[in-house]
């Protein structure tokens, strides 16, 4: 749904002036014959004439959720679309900002290397690099195979489409929970340019702009760029620096070549680089022994998880970036036998990604364990598809729209990571925390009772004995996928249509995973890091060879042009793999995920298209859900099975008071494990304890999500207009760790945002002031067990209050 995408009749322009808009793309100006007007998301909203001929209604929203341009109203899927206008209005800088307005969706991008993305309660913790995301990411027709692409620069965007439920038929593997489909602005017929500058709390500065158009009848280009700096909200009082401070730069060059009248070639070159001080965690719930030990390194150490202060000693960082080159060729064949408006489309792309980072694993002023991580990834993909329509299905019924094609994907991934002993590991060995980890008995309190002083000095004396002490992970994986897909929409009659589809995918993975203890230890046979982690050396090659068939079928009943009902069944698939962060080399394989979803819903345009109301009910079963379990200093991977059921609703209402539009959304999730017998238990049950989570709720699955956004547009003197808008955002209670520890539970809460914009009637400029989380609500995004301090926790806070001002120019 596009907030604020309201249409205005020409005779009503003075009373309700249109909002700032981006220029329409040259390649998406065709409109479906059954609709009055279908502008692309982000285009100038056009009037939709009703039977009376004078009353303005809400503009259509065009999406490509089925790889062809359609009105959102006609797509038999649960889809929410956010256009360029709303992205600018809410001052969105990443997909986390967007997700607040998507029912039953969650995106956590505080960890730029391992973002967590969930739809309908299902997702993957990509902290383990061998896990691929269960939510797919596609940008400008290119599927990206690593979750880290979710945190690459998002700029010059025309719209974001969020497709819920398995999307395996048209978009392939790794879409068992859904898909984020991002479309950037394209080359326009006429020369156009835009720029947007924003400044806000914590010295947040973001500038993006784009310029281009067709230079002649066969060549055009668009150049866009973005720079973003932010000091970060989390203060490290030990290192006297800001954590999560961001420095991000990106650019995109689009070329359009029309070598023939019926051939269009689009070349897309993108580059993004980011660097930031890193580790967005705070300590919480320190026991007496842990506090006494850490305060000997920093007397100001504290465990308040809501004050945006941390005290770890390692100057962590993350540097990451990507480059992508892609080309899309669209040959408009026209009539091909009995096929009309046939298009042969070839999409090819190459992308590479790098991540280098240092993390303080103990998140404390003591130098105990650090993680060095280096990742290198590249992928090549080619898709060839044929689209078109016929008058009937072999003389039966009415028209058939179809898309069919083949897909090739190959990727190479390399991980080299080291858990390195710090200079204070020797003193940590003399603490109750170490004894608890070594014995598995969390009730040991011998040293706390003795109150031994001088532990930092002990650590310094033992540092030469520990020497170059580390545990290293080395993981390589090559993936090759081949797929054939086909989907058609058969209009059986004026009221019924049927959409069957299938994708046949074959995938191979050749991999090797190894773990090695410190080879240069000074004391032969003794490796403190391996001892602490319970690790040993291993080197295991692996191979996976999997074939999957993902079918889909949707039945749609079209009551009239403004109301339709649909039901569907779809399957999705994500391949299995081997654990890349094992300490023992045991139980390495994990199975592929397979999801099946049933949906029933309706899409309506009511009251002369003044109210859009779309609702979907769903039921999803997911077999072999890939789960990551934290056990203190160790992590394990495995499989579970789960069921999620619920509802999502999008609403857009152009009220009788024509200056006011009200938009909203609502989501409900009931997601529970059907089987998870060896799940991690809360630390209060003992170190390494397990539990059976059958029938228990899934973490990161809030019961309810809701938004309501009133938008008031007021004409002003001097050819100006004012726009006032606000958001009330609700997120229900949820657990933020797999073990469902009560301490990791975040209660339901509301957050509020507001904005005021002044613009001229010609949409050449606008000035906005606004704020997010105006009540400064302090809540946690995630809470996990502390790595080496049993009974304590790491907390990652959600952002506090943020104020900002923006200036936007359009030419």
Tens of pLDDT, residue by residue over 36-76, are 333 333 333 333 333 444 457 888 888 888 888 889 999 99
Quote the CA–CA distance of 440 and 798 in Å, as a whole number.
Answer: 32
Contact partners, residue 188, CB within 8 Å, separation at least 6? 23, 24, 25, 26, 212, 213, 214, 220, 222
Q: Per-residue pLDDT tens for 419-465?
A: 998 888 888 888 888 888 878 787 877 776 555 555 666 666 666 66
Q: Which residue has the higher pLDDT, 688 or 782?
A: 782
For range 335-348, the mean pLDDT:
94
Structure tokens at 390: 């016929």
Residue 10: per-residue pLDDT? 32
**Percentage of the chain surpassing pLDDT 90?**
69
Lowest mean pLDDT across 34-48, 606-620, 746-760: 34-48
Quote the CA–CA distance of 732 and 668 in Å, as a whole number.
Answer: 9
Residue given tokens 């059976």 in the structure block: 692
Q: Per-residue pLDDT tens for 698-721?
A: 999 999 999 999 999 999 999 999
Residue 41: per-residue pLDDT? 34
Quote the CA–CA distance of 507 and 145 in Å, as a whole number.
Answer: 13
Beta carbons within 10 angstroms of residue 326's beta carbon: 19
DSSP structure class, residue 743: G
pLDDT level of residue 634 (50, 70, 90 thresholds):
low
Quote the CA–CA distance of 112 and 109 in Å, as a whole number.
Answer: 6
Give the distance from CA 185 to its chain's centroid. Answer: 20
- SS3 labels along 204-231: EEEEEEEEEEECCCCEEEEEEEEEEEEC
Residue 607 has pLDDT above 90, yes or no: yes
Residue given tokens 């079928």 in the structure block: 553
| Per-residue CA distances from 214 to 25, 108, 224, 257, 485 (Å) | 11, 38, 15, 9, 34
Distance linking the first and last C-alpha atoms of the chain: 26
pLDDT level of residue 635 (50, 70, 90 thresholds):
low
CB 171 within 8 A of CB 138: yes
CB 125 within 8 A of CB 680: no
Residue 9: per-residue pLDDT? 33
For range 199-219, the mean pLDDT:
96
Residue 22: per-residue pLDDT? 35
Quote the CA–CA distance of 255 and 187 in Å, as a whole number.
Answer: 7
Residue 141 falls in which region: left (phi positive, over 0), alpha (psi -120 to 50) or beta? left
Quote the CA–CA distance of 731 and 748 in Å, as a whole number.
Answer: 6
Secondary element (H or E) of residue 529: helix 528-533
Give the distance from CA 531 to its chain's centroid. Answer: 37
Exposure pattern of 719-731 as b/e (b: 16+ CB <10 Å)? eebebebbbebbb
Domain map of the chain by residue range? 10-810
Residue 666 has pLDDT above 60, yes or no: yes
Structure tokens at 555: 């039945």
What is the average pLDDT score of the chain? 87
Residue 49: per-residue pLDDT? 37
Q: Which residue has the higher pLDDT, 414 or 65?
A: 414
Q: Per-residue pLDDT tens for 376-396?
A: 999 999 999 999 999 998 889
Quote the CA–CA distance of 782 and 700 in Å, as a whole number.
Answer: 9
Instruction: Please name which of 183, 184, 205, 185 lies closest in space to residue 196, comparing C-alpha atoms.
Output: 205
For range 128-152, the mean pLDDT:
92
Is the C-alpha dihedral spanning 526, 530, 534, 536 positive or negative? Answer: negative
Instruction: Report angle CA 118, 121, 126 to the nearest 5 degrees.
Output: 40
CB 655 within 8 A of CB 636: no
Give the distance from CA 773 to its chain's centroid. Answer: 21
For range 788-805, the mean pLDDT:
94
Lowest mean pLDDT across 78-82, 476-480, 515-519, 792-796: 515-519
Quote the CA–CA distance of 186 and 97 in Å, as a whole number.
Answer: 23
- Residue 779, SS3 per DSSP: coil
Instruction: Please name which of 609, 629, 587, 646 lies closest in space to residue 785, comparing C-alpha atoms.
Output: 629
pLDDT level of residue 549 (50, 70, 90 thresholds):
very high
Looking at the domain that runs over 10-810, which CATH code has it been given?
A: 2.40.170.20
Beta carbons within 10 angstroms of residue 811's beta carbon: 11
CB 255 within 8 A of CB 266: yes
């Amino acid at each position: 749904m596009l907030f604020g995408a309201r249409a205005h009749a020409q005779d009503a322009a003075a009373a309700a002036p249109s909002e700032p808009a981006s220029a329409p793309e040259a390649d998406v100006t065709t409109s479906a014959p059954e609709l009055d007007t279908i502008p692309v998301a982000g285009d100038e909203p056009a009037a939709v004439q009703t039977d009376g001929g004078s009353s303005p209604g809400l503009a259509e929203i065009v999406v490509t959720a089925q790889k062809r341009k359609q009105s959102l109203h006609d797509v038999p899927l649960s889809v929410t679309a956010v256009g360029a206008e709303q992205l600018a209005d809410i001052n969105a800088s990443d997909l986390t900002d967007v997700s607040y307005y998507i029912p039953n969706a969650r995106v956590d991008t505080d960890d730029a290397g391992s973002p967590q993305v969930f739809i309908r309660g299902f997702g993957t913790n990509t902290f383990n690099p061998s896990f691929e995301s269960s939510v797919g990411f596609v940008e400008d027709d290119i599927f990206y195979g690593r979750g880290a692409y979710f945190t690459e620069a998002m700029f010059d965007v025309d719209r974001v489409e969020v497709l819920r439920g398995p999307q395996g038929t048209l978009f392939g593997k790794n879409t068992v929970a859904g898909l984020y489909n991002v479309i950037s602005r394209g080359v326009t017929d006429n020369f156009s340019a835009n720029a947007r500058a924003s400044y806000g709390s914590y010295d947040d500065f973001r500038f993006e702009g784009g310029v281009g158009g067709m230079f002649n009848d066969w060549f055009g280009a668009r150049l866009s760029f973005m720079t973003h700096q932010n000091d970060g909200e989390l203060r490290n009082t030990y290192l006297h620096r800001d954590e999560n401070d961001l420095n991000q730069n990106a650019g995109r060059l689009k070329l359009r070549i029309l070598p023939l009248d019926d051939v269009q070639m689009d070349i897309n070159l993108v580059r993004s680089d980011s660097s930031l001080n890193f580790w967005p965690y705070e300590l919480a719930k320190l026991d007496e022994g842990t506090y006494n030990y850490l305060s000997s390194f920093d007397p100001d150490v504290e465990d308040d998880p809501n004050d945006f202060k941390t005290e770890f000693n390692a100057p962590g960082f993350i540097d990451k970036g990507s480059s992508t080159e892609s080309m899309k060729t669209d040959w408009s064949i026209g009539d091909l036998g009995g096929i009309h408006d046939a298009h042969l489309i070839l999409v090819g792309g190459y992308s590479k990604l790098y991540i280098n980072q240092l993390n303080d694993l103990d998140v404390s002023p003591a130098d105990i364990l650090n993680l060095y991580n280096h990742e290198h990834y590249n992928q090549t993909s080619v898709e060839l598809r044929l689209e078109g329509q016929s008058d009937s299905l072999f003389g039966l019924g009415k028209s058939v729209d179809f898309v069919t094609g083949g897909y090739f994907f190959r990727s190479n991934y390399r991980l080299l990571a080291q858990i390195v002993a710090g200079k204070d590991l020797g003193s940590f060995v003399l603490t109750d925390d170490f004894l608890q980890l070594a014995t598995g008995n969390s009730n040991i309190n011998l040293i706390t009772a003795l109150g031994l002083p001088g532990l930092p000095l002990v650590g310094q004396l033992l540092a030469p004995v520990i020497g170059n002490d580390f545990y290293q992970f080395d993981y390589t994986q090559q993936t090759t996928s081949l797929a054939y897909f086909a989907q058609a929409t058969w209009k059986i009659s004026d009221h019924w249509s049927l959409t069957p589809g299938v994708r046949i995918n074959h995938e191979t993975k050749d991999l090797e995973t190894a773990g090695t203890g410190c080879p240069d230890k000074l004391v032969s046979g003794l490796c403190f890091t391996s001892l602490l982690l319970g690790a040993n050396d291993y080197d295991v090659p692996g191979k996976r060879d999997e074939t999957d068939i993902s079918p889909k079928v949707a039945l749609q009943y079209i009551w009239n042009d403004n109301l339709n009902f649909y039901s569907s069944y779809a399957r999705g698939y994500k391949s299995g793999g081997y654990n890349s962060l094992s300490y023992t080399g045991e139980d390495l394989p994990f199975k592929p995920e397979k999801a099946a979803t049933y949906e029933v819903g309706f899409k309506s345009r009511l009251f002369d298209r003044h109210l859009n109301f779309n609702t979907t009910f769903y039921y999803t079963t997911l077999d072999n859900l890939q789960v990551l379990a934290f056990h203190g200093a160790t992590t394990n991977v495995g499989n579970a099975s789960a069921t999620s059921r619920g509802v999502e609703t999008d609403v857009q209402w152009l009220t009788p008071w024509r200056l006011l539009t009200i938009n909203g959304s609502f989501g409900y999730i009931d997601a529970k494990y059907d089987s998870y017998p060896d799940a991690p238990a809360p630390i209060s049950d003992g170190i390494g304890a397990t539990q059976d989570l059958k029938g228990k709720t899934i973490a990161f699955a809030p019961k309810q999500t809701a938004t309501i956004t009133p938008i008031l547009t007021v004409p002003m003197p001097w050819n100006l207009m004012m726009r006032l808008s606000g958001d009330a955002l609700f997120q229900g209670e949820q657990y933020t760790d797999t073990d469902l520890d009560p301490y990791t539970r975040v209660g339901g809460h509301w957050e509020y945002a507001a904005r005021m914009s002044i613009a001229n009637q010609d949409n050449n400029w606008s000035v906005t002031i606004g704020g997010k989380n105006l009540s400064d609500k302090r809540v946690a995004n995630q809470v996990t067990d502390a790595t080496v301090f049993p009974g304590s926790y790491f907390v990652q806070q959600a952002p506090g209050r943020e104020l900002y001002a923006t200036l936007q120019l359009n030419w």
